[in-house]
């Protein structure tokens, strides 16, 4: 790109300084522009932002697996590898340029830093550690430092169960991501999952769960550090070491800071720490460096020949392995594409079909196919060798071959790992479909791979959600601090209880039973939720019971043989022994006894009224005797006889009542007979 009279600016600073936002503003202010990003996901995020400003017909997105390039598009958002350097733009920006020190991709960022230029303005974005490299490689650049908008503070180690909401937990392997997400599902209801290998569609769906508040936690790989904008208040490291492709090593301070800096946004402060008992401890020097944004300066960057000669395979490999002129550039470690090329060069069936410089260049393009499936150079080189059998002729891959491979992947069944593997394979074919000279009818093939990836992505999102999100637990934990009366509670005709749409159990009368499918550890939570959210419903139920007709009640033996009073088929209490036979007591079941004062009083009074009515209906004679025994207008001897008969159940032998009968005057016997007492011969 032409560099004459182009303003070259390096904007340096830690995370949350608005560097990317500034670059997007400058991009949109020019008549045309291009930005290069470290991640496909980030390129997509900024693409959506620019589309909202400029409109979809004016903006292009180019990544390895996705190409949206409307005719006449003037603003391009790309991954660093996919930046079309042969096009002329008024503005060019490179984000996260410090990745020039990355062993795998560093040479790409170094090349873009050295050669990608806008006609009017070029902007290099990166951390403060990049300053020595800018001074050494781009002495003409104006360096602008930007301070962080908010404070970043160390919060120390915390147990996973004690993490504050709106936390992101960063892990360094897929296995660790899954393990942490599973623990969060058990402890806190679930988490969203973000990994670099996810498709943009899956990643956006997962992030939306977090951003919308459906879940309060996010588990991510270190890809989160590459500029992804999330509403995170706390970053917790699940580990402080990572495998870099060659060995397991401790994270550098710059890597820690890049990740920790995702906490806080704009003017809101953020915190960082570790998972207690899992990640180890950050040293005091590391904490001070991260909080103060003071990192070791880069004194070298990786370089590889960007335009190797293709006279023959030996020359191509020699150029790719050549050394830079000297400091501050270093020869890049052997990347996967070069390793694959060297393996292909050792395959006679491959080299036999390499004809001239054009064939060498085409083989290099094939070897540069990214290993999205992460199968390793050996396996990936065999896959590329299979493609080469078709590509060597200079003709596109047979339509039936490509369509068959795509169709083979079109299956949305399977677990998370299976679906992730299919998406990785789909990304490979999406990359191939976007090579106009590799396939027949590229637009149609690209559309098919895009549709395939979208279907698989939706299936993966659902699989992740089912595996790592327990919406019921999340809702109940979150609702614990809310006004319970404001939460929608529904109890259907079968007594099934739903709180805010989530099934938590069922009601047997006034007794709550937790959902049978719930784990033992969830029972306490469900019982607490029922106690909190059903109070209002149970009060209404108590009022309905107080107004119920007598025929809605019944007396039946419970499972233990005790006499239970039931209402609508459910026990509300038991009959227990009272002071006398005709004064049984009502003892409410535990669920009814737990009602609030007025509700409990209403149930108790209604139950006692029903008992009295049943005594009147079925034991009228005894009720009359009890009433006679308490009638002050009746002779005392008659009242005493009535009381004894009532206690005896209405009938007694003369020899048991001898003293009472002997003391009863003859004139009182008539009054007793009028009251219904019969004097028999025995």
Q: What is the pLDDT of residues 201-212, one digit of tens each?
A: 888 899 899 988
Q: Is residue 84 part of a domain?
A: yes
Domain extent for 227: 152-292
Tokens, residue 325: 């002129």
Helix, strand, coil % over all residues of the chain, rounded to 5: 45, 15, 35
Q: What percent of the chain has pLDDT over 70?
A: 91
Q: Is residue 315 part of a domain?
A: no
Q: Do 612 and 629 have their domain in common?
A: no
Cα angle value 249/254/258 (rounded, 5°): 110
Q: Note the residue count of the chain.
A: 682
d(CA 443, CA 451): 12
Q: Which residues contact 50 (CB under 8 A, 6 or more apart)?
A: 24, 27, 28, 59, 75, 77
What mean pLDDT do residues 40-66 have? 93
Is 156:129 a contact under the CB 8 Å cutoff?
Answer: no
Type and span of the H or E element at 79: strand 75-79
624 φ, ψ to 5°?
A: -65, -40
> How many domains in the chain?
6
pLDDT of residue 597: 82
Q: Which residues contact 625 (CB under 8 A, 6 or more apart)?
A: 642, 643, 645, 646, 650, 676, 677
The residues with which 161 forms a beta bridge, in sequence order, are: none
What mean pLDDT do residues 59-72 have? 92
Q: Do 14 and 109 have their domain in common?
A: yes
Q: Is residue 1 part of a domain?
A: no
Q: Do 156 and 278 have their domain in common?
A: yes
Q: Do 445 and 341 have their domain in common?
A: yes
What mean pLDDT do residues 59-65 have? 92
What mean pLDDT do residues 328-350 have? 95
Cα angle value 475/476/481 (rounded, 5°): 105
Q: What percent of the chain has pLDDT over 90?
A: 49
What mean pLDDT do residues 154-175 have? 91
Q: Do 507 and 583 have their domain in common?
A: no
Q: Is residue 191 part of a domain?
A: yes
Could you give the maximum distance between any two Cα atoms of the chain, in Å?
A: 142
Tokens, residue 645: 């008969």
Would the pLDDT of 486 be above 50?
A: no
Q: Do 498 and 460 have their domain in common?
A: no
d(CA 615, CA 565): 14
Type and span of the H or E element at 574: strand 570-576
Q: Do 566 and 633 have their domain in common?
A: no
3-state SS of 17-57? Answer: CCHHHHHHHHHHHCCCEEEEECCHHHHHHHHHHHHHHHCHH
Average pLDDT, the chain: 86
Would the pLDDT of 480 be above 60?
A: no
Nearest to residue 6, comparing CAs of 38, 40, 36, 30?
Answer: 30
d(CA 564, CA 557): 6
Tens digits of per-residue pLDDT, 587-640? 998 888 878 788 889 899 999 899 888 888 887 677 777 777 777 777 777 777
Q: Do 11 and 139 have their domain in common?
A: yes
What mean pLDDT do residues 509-538 have? 67
Would the pLDDT of 28 be above 90?
A: yes
Confidence tier at 672 by pLDDT (50, 70, 90): confident
d(CA 537, CA 540): 5
Q: Are strands 585-588 and 570-576 parallel, antiparallel or unpaired?
A: antiparallel
pLDDT of residue 473: 62
Ramachandran sector of residue 422 (left: φ over 0; alpha: ψ -120 to 50; beta: rest): alpha
Lowest pLDDT segment from 5-19, 43-57, 224-238, 637-651: 637-651
Is 399:433 a contact under the CB 8 Å cutoff?
Answer: no
Is 148:290 a contact under the CB 8 Å cutoff?
Answer: no
Neighbours of 307 (CB within 10 A): 8
Would the pLDDT of 581 be above 90?
A: no
Would the pLDDT of 559 be above 50?
A: yes
Confidence tier at 483 by pLDDT (50, 70, 90): very low
Tens digits of per-residue pLDDT, 395-446? 999 999 999 999 999 999 999 889 999 999 999 999 999 888 999 989 999 9
Q: Is residue 207 part of a domain?
A: yes
pLDDT of residue 485: 43
Q: Could you tell me which residue, 223 or 145, shows the higher pLDDT?
A: 145
At residue 271, the 3 state secondary structure works out as: strand
Lowest pLDDT segment from 191-205, 347-361, 364-378: 191-205
Tens digits of per-residue pLDDT, 293-305? 888 899 999 999 9
Q: Could you tell me which residue, 489 or 239, shows the higher pLDDT?
A: 239
pLDDT of residue 324: 95
d(CA 642, CA 633): 14
The separation between the first and the last C-alpha atoms of the chain, rounded to the nearest angstrom, is 128
Q: Do 166 and 284 have their domain in common?
A: yes
Q: Which residues contact 200 (CB under 8 A, 6 or more apart)?
A: 40, 41, 44, 66, 457
pLDDT of residue 220: 92
Specify the DSSP class assigned to residue 552: G
Lowest pLDDT segment from 13-17, 140-144, 424-428: 13-17
Nearest to residue 56, comparing CAs of 43, 71, 34?
Answer: 71
At residue 150, the 3 state secondary structure works out as: coil
Q: Is residue 318 part of a domain?
A: no
Of 145, 161, 191, the one marking the end of a domain is 145
Would the pLDDT of 309 be above 60?
A: yes
Torsion angle in degrees (nearest 10) through CA of 232, 14, 38, 240:
-70
Neighbours of 84 (CB within 10 A): 12
Of 413, 434, 468, the one marking the end of a domain is 468
Q: Do 393 and 276 have their domain in common?
A: no
Q: Which residues contact 54 (CB under 8 A, 6 or more apart)?
A: 28, 74, 75
Tell me the HSE value of 550 on the side-chain side, using a 13 A CA sphere.
10
Here the CATH number for the domain that contains residue 219 is: 3.40.50.300
pLDDT of residue 468: 86
What mean pLDDT do residues 99-119 have? 95
Q: Do 133 and 177 have their domain in common?
A: no
At residue 455, the 3 state secondary structure works out as: helix
Instruction: Identify the burial level of 250 via C-beta atoms within 10 angstroms of its C-beta, where 0-12 means exposed, 13-18 middle and 19 or more buried.
Output: middle
Lowest pLDDT segment from 31-45, 388-402, 545-559, 620-634: 620-634
Choose the most confident range, by mean pLDDT, from 88-97, 154-163, 518-527, 618-627.
88-97
Q: Is residue 488 part of a domain?
A: yes
354 φ, ψ to 5°?
A: -95, 115
Neighbours of 539 (CB within 10 A): 15
Of 86, 113, 145, the one marking the end of a domain is 145
Lowest pLDDT segment from 261-275, 357-371, 531-545: 531-545
pLDDT of residue 482: 40
Q: Is residue 301 part of a domain?
A: no
> What is the value of pTM for the model shown?
0.71
Q: Which residues contact 383 (CB under 8 A, 6 or more apart)?
A: 375
Q: Do 100 and 42 have their domain in common?
A: yes
pLDDT of residue 484: 40
The residues with which 585 forms a beta bridge, in sequence order, are: 576
Would the pLDDT of 174 be above 70?
A: yes
């Amino acid at each position: 790109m032409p560099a004459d009279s182009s303003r070259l600016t390096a904007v340096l600073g830690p995370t949350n300084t608005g560097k990317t936002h500034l670059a997007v503003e400058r991009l949109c202010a020019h008549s045309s522009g291009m930005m290069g990003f470290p991640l496909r996901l980030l390129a997509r995020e900024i693409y959506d932002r620019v589309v909202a400003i400029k409109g979809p017909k004016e903006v292009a997105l180019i990544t390895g697996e996705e190409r949206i390039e409307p005719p006449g598009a003037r603003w391009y958002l790309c991954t660093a590898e996919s930046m079309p350097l042969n096009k002329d733009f008024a503005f060019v920006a490179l984000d996260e340029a410090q990745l020039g020190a990355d062993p795998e991709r560093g040479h790409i960022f170094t090349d873009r830093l050295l050669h990608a230029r806008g006609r009017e303005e070029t902007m290099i974005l990166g951390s403060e550690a990049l300053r020595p490299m800018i001074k050494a490689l781009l002495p003409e650049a104006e360096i602008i430092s930007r301070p962080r908008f908010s404070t970043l503070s160390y919060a120390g180690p915390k147990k996973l169960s004690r993490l504050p909401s709106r936390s992101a937990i960063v892990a360094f392997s897929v296995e660790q991501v899954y393990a942490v997400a599973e623990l969060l599902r058990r402890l806190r209801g679930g988490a969203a999952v973000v990994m670099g290998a996810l498709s943009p569609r899956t990643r956006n769906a997962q992030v939306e769960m977090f951003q919308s508040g459906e879940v309060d936690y996010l588990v991510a790989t270190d890809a989160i550090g590459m500029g992804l904008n999330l509403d995170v208040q706390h970053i917790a490291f699940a580990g402080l070491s990572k495998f870099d492709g060659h060995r397991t090593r401790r994270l550098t301070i710059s890597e820690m800071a890049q990740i920790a800096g995702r906490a806080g946004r704009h003017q809101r402060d953020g915190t960082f720490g570790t998972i207690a008992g899992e990640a180890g401890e950050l040293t005091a020097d590391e904490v001070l460096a991260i909080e103060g944004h003071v990192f070791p300066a880069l004194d070298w960057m990786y370089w590889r020949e960007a335009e190797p000669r293709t006279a023959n395979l030996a020359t191509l490999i020699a150029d790719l392995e050549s050394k830079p002129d000297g400091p501050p550039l270093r020869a890049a470690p052997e990347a996967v594409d070069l390793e694959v090329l060297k393996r292909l060069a050792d395959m006679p069936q491959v080299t036999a079909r390499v004809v001239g410089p054009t064939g060498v260049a085409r083989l290099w393009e094939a070897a540069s196919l990214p290993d999205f499936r992460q199968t390793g150079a050996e396996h990936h080189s065999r896959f590329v060798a299979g493609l080469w059998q078709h590509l060597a002729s200079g003709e596109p891959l047979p339509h039936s071959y490509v369509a068959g491979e795509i169709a083979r992947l079109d299956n949305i069944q399977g677990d998370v790992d299976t679906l992730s593997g299919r998406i990785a394979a789909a990304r490979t074919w999406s990359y191939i479909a976007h090579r106009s000279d590799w396939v027949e009818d590229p637009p149609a093939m690209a559309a098919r791979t895009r549709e395939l990836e979208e279907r698989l992505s939706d299936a993966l999102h659902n699989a992740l959600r089912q595996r790592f999100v327990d919406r019921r637990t999340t809702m109940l934990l979150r609702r614990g601090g809310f006004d319970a009366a404001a939460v929608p509670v529904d109890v259907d005709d079968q007594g099934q209880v739903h709180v805010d749409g989530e099934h938590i159990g069922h009601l047997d009368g006034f007794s709550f039973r937790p959902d049978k499918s719930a784990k033992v550890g969830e029972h306490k939570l469900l019982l607490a939720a029922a106690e909190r959210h059903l109070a209002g419903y149970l009060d209404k139920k108590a009022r309905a019971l107080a107004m119920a007709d007598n025929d809605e009640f019944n007396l039946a033996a419970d499972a233990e043989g005790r006499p239970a009073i039931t209402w609508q088929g459910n026990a509300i209490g038991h009959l227990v022994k009272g002071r006398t036979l005709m004064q049984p007591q009502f003892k409410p079941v535990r669920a009814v006894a737990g009602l609030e004062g007025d509700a409990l009083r209403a149930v108790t009074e209604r139950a006692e009224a029903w008992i009295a009515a049943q005594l009147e209906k079925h034991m009228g004679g005894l009720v009359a005797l009890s009433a006679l025994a308490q009638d002050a207008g009746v002779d005392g001897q008659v009242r005493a006889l009535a009381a004894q008969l009532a206690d005896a159940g209405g009938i007694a032998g003369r020899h048991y009542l001898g003293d009472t009968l002997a003391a009863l005057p003859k004139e009182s016997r008539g009054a007793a007979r009028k009251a219904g007492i019969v004097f028999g011969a025995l």
